[in-house]
Structure 1
Amino acid sequence: MPGAERVEGTPLGAAPQGGAPRTVWLTTESDPGLLSARAAALRLQEQGRTAHLVWNPVTGETAQLLPTTSAANGALTDRGVDHAAEGRVCILILVIGRTLAPFTDGPLTGLADILTWLDSWEVARQWPAGAPAAPSERALWSSSRERIWARGGHFGHCQVPGAHSDSPGAISPERILGAPHAVAAPTPPRPPEPRRGGGHPQRDVCEHDIMDPPGGVGSSGLDTRPRVGALPS
């Protein structure tokens, strides 16, 4: 991702298997006021875990461990089908925050840049499984999850088929997907081209430059029309 700090040393995963692009949101279960994105990424490496991007939503800091075209193998499910390798891309974003304190209730610094990056990988701005539930309300796995997962878009880790996770908690998809697109800086206006031979820029000729002045009004702006003498009483 442009602007993200690169954290080297994470083993590359397999190439994606194809299918609809998707993004999965997870949380670190730590305080964003105490942990930087780089520190969280290094801790992830020490634990033998991985993700594509680590994001601190309070400071806006991001750290990238994997290229987008490398799967985060084994990061979503403990056994069975490795859904992290599905899709043309399956981008895992690890947010520094806690499941019991949804990160969308606080600042989302830098989210517009992240969404623009995901847009460039054609991850649809949709949340087909609906809003993730709070841990106490998490539904049991059902076969319909597989069909929803196949549609691509954005998911919480708790919504991935076969995952046993409460992360990221009851976050708001509207606050995430409604982030504005990053706007490029406006292009400054071009300076006027100088007149041939140097000198001041040539001014466009206006209509009043080529028309004769109205009758009786000279170039001085004074009324030069002959005065009519007073009529005899």
Structure 2
Amino acid sequence: MPAPNDGGALRGGAPRVVWCAEEHDPHTVSARSVAADLLKENRPAHLVWHPGTGEIVQLLPITRAARLLGGALGREGRVCAQIMVVGQSRSPFTGSLLTGVEAIVQWLDAWGVARRWPAGPPLPSPQSYHAPRSRKDWARGGHYGASQVPLLDRPDPGGIDVRRITGPDTPVAPIPKPRLPGAPAGPRLVAPRTRTPETVRPAPSDAPPPRPGPLHSAPEPVPVGPLSN
């Protein structure tokens, strides 16, 4: 089921993959059905995967940008794989069967996508709406949830267990804290600078310096007793 339109040529950079999960009930919807909907909306992903059945539908080659993220984000990276998982963000898909996940991750390995989550595990929904979306983390490449992509206002895929995807030895950053919407930034504290003490000098006086008195001749010595030899 190839897509007639893609997102254009990739621009280069660290290889990465973005895991997405919109509101599709995996008990009633197939991967092929979700793929057909994405094509109608002109938002093709690279893969549509049903973790319960293992069904995988590829809509685009990984060497071309997909259109699921929108804008220029999907063109960043030598590889920017976009995977639509048949599931719901409020019910993380890693809580069920993950049939076929190893084949997908090995496919990503072959394209240089590192098995790491630079932004940490994705937050659960709805806290994920306020997740940090750091450009620095994005630039490193690896695996991301859609809620961790810069400038993207999405809650998916929810609080997934990332080690069920990339393995038990996956290095992950700590779970990020959500930002409070509209919270003002706190004051910036600046450490005091150490100042070198200045030499204290007496204030100049207008009075002339005292003049030395006259020299007097020394008085005659007073004899104390007979001098000894």
TM-score by length of 1: 0.69
The one-letter amino acid paired with 2:141 is: G
Native 8 Å contact 2:129 2:147 kept in 1: no
Q: Aligned match of 2:53 in 49, 59, 66? A: 59
TM-score by length of 2: 0.70
**Who is 2:29 aligned against?**
35
What is the 5 A alignment of 1:81-100? 82-100=72-90
Secondary structure of the 1:138 match is helix
Q: Aligned match of 2:14 in 9, 17, 20? A: 20
Q: Aligned match of 2:4 in 10, 16, 23? A: 10
Secondary structure of the 1:45 match is helix
Q: Work out the CA distance in 1 between the residues paired with 2:34 and 2:82.
A: 14
Native 8 Å contact 2:3 2:60 kept in 1: no
**Who is 1:165 aligned against?**
154
Secondary structure of the 2:126 match is helix
Native 8 Å contact 2:66 2:74 kept in 1: yes
Secondary structure of the 1:135 match is coil
Q: Aligned match of 1:114 in 104, 107, 127? A: 104
User: What is the CA-CA distance between 1:9 and the residue it aligns to?
Assistant: 3.6
Native 8 Å contact 1:15 1:70 kept in 2: yes
User: Cα RMSD over matched residues?
Assistant: 1.8
Q: Percent identity?
A: 46
User: What is the CA-CA distance between 1:140 and the residue it aligns to?
Assistant: 3.7
Secondary structure of the 1:41 match is helix
Q: Work out the CA distance in 2 between the residues paired with 1:141 and 1:59.
A: 30
Q: Aligned match of 1:156 in 145, 167, 170? A: 145
Describe the shift of the 1:8–1:136 C-alpha distance in structure 2 as closer, same or farther (beyond 3 A).
closer
Secondary structure of the 1:48 match is coil
User: What is the CA-CA distance between 1:115 and the residue it aligns to?
Assistant: 0.7
Describe the shift of the 1:100–1:139 C-alpha distance in structure 2 as closer, same or farther (beyond 3 A).
closer
User: What is the CA-CA distance between 1:179 and the residue it aligns to?
Assistant: 7.4
Q: Which structure is larger by alpha-carbon Rg, 1 or 2?
A: 2
Native 8 Å contact 1:16 1:69 kept in 2: yes
Equivalent pairs counted in the alignment come to: 169
The one-letter amino acid paired with 1:22 is: R
